[in-house]
């Protein structure tokens, strides 16, 4: 009897996967359309975090997460964006990863329309300093007006510079109140939230006990060096999560964990 079951993504360009019977792992195939069922919209408000890490815990290569990714990771990445109401990203990640406008392909837009959702998710940028360039494509090429979340003490001149390209929402006096920010997004109808980082935002969300799911890609790379981990923040009590699914593709693992609240 197999020890466990790994669901694998289809091979790129139709290439066959090597047989794995000798490992004692049963393998079944899953196709693109099945990803929505494996990474579903939930019936209750959910904050889902998506990250990638190397085998040694590194969250980046040369300062960017893209160096760890692959075709399978891109499929998961796109599927998670397809089903969310809002994509929440820290300003540092927007700058480092050079985020573009939050656009989806035709198939994803059609799926959203058929599900009764707006054609595009809301792009949400979290920034205490408002050190953001209004000309960056995340704003300049946005299909719908983005939202920037900050606090009352953020520089007024930077707030004014962003207002032509984004709505600016204040949550907190001298620091961002993430719980209030999540409540404000829920009030706007955005109950299925996807966070793509960075590590400081993830750490702050953990500290605020706001994380419901973690979708973690494990890349088959040892990078060494001084790259940071996926979460950085204050010490908090450990919070157990349950494994909901495991997928594999080209030696990458895709893990989905969820909390039982």
149 part of a folded domain: yes
Count of domains for the chain:
1
Return mean pLDDT, the chain. 88
pLDDT in tens, 117-154: 999 999 999 999 999 999 999 999 999 999 999 999 99
pTM, entire model: 0.88
225 part of a folded domain: yes
Q: What are the φ/ψ torsions at residue 256 (nearest 5 degrees)? A: -120, 120
- Separation CA 141–CA 4 (nearest Å): 45
- What residues contact residue 16 under an 8 Å CB cut-off, 6+ apart? none
Return the pLDDT at 4. 42
- Which residues constitute the domain of residue 196? 27-37+44-245
CATH code for the domain of 213: 3.40.430.10
Cα 197–chain centre separation: 7
Return the pLDDT at 10. 54
68 within 8 A of 213, measured Cβ to Cβ? no
Q: Which residue has the tokens 């300093």?
A: 129
2 part of a folded domain: no
pLDDT over 70 (residue 14): no
158 part of a folded domain: yes
Cα 107 to Cα 32, 34, 93, 103, 111: the distances in Å are: 11, 14, 27, 12, 6
Q: What are the φ/ψ torsions at residue 38 (nearest 5 degrees)? A: -80, -25
Cα 206–chain centre separation: 14
259 part of a folded domain: no
92 within 8 A of 60, measured Cβ to Cβ? no
pLDDT in tens, 39-58: 999 999 999 999 999 988 88
How many CB atoms are located within 10 Å of the residue 214 CB? 20
Rounded to the nearest 10 degrees, what angle do helices 106-114 and 71-83 cross at? 30
Give the three-state DSSP class for 74.
helix
260 part of a folded domain: no
169 within 8 A of 145, measured Cβ to Cβ? no
pLDDT in tens, 218-235: 998 888 877 788 999 989
Return the pLDDT at 11. 46
130 part of a folded domain: yes
Residues 46-67 as b/e (b if ≥16 CB within 10 A, e otherwise) read: bbbbbbbbbeeebbbbeeebeb
Return the pLDDT at 17. 42
117 part of a folded domain: yes
What is the average pLDDT across 57-74?
79
Return the pLDDT at 72. 83
230 within 8 A of 206, measured Cβ to Cβ? no
């Amino acid at each position: 009897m197999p020890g466990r079951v790994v669901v694998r993504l289809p091979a790129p360009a139709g290439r066959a996967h090597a047989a794995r019977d000798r490992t004692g792992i049963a393998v079944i195939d899953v196709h693109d359309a099945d990803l929505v069922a494996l990474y579903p919209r939930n019936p209750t408000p959910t904050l889902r975090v998506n990250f990638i890490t190397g085998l040694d815990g590194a969250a980046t290569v040369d300062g960017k997460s893209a160096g760890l990714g692959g075709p399978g990771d891109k499929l998961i990445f796109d599927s998670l964006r397809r089903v969310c109401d809002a994509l929440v990203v820290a300003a540092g990640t927007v700058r480092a990863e050079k985020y573009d406008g939050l656009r989806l392909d035709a198939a994803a837009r059609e799926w959203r329309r058929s599900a009764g959702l707006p054609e595009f998710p809301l792009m949400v940028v979290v920034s205490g300093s408002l050190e953001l360039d209004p000309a960056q494509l995340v704003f300049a090429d946005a299909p719908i007006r983005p939202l920037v979340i900050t606090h009352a003490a953020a520089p007024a001149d930077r707030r004014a510079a962003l207002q032509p390209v984004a709505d600016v929402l204040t949550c907190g006096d001298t620091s961002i109140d993430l719980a209030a920010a999540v409540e404000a997004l829920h009030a706007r109808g955005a109950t299925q939230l996807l966070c793509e980082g960075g590590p400081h935002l993830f750490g702050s969300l953990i500290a605020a006990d706001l994380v419901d799911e973690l979708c973690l890609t494990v890349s088959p790379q040892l990078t060494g060096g001084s790259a940071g981990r996926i979460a950085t923040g204050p010490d908090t009590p450990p919070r157990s999560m349950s494994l909901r699914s495991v997928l594999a593709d080209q030696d990458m693992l895709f893990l989905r964990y969820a909390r039982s609240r």
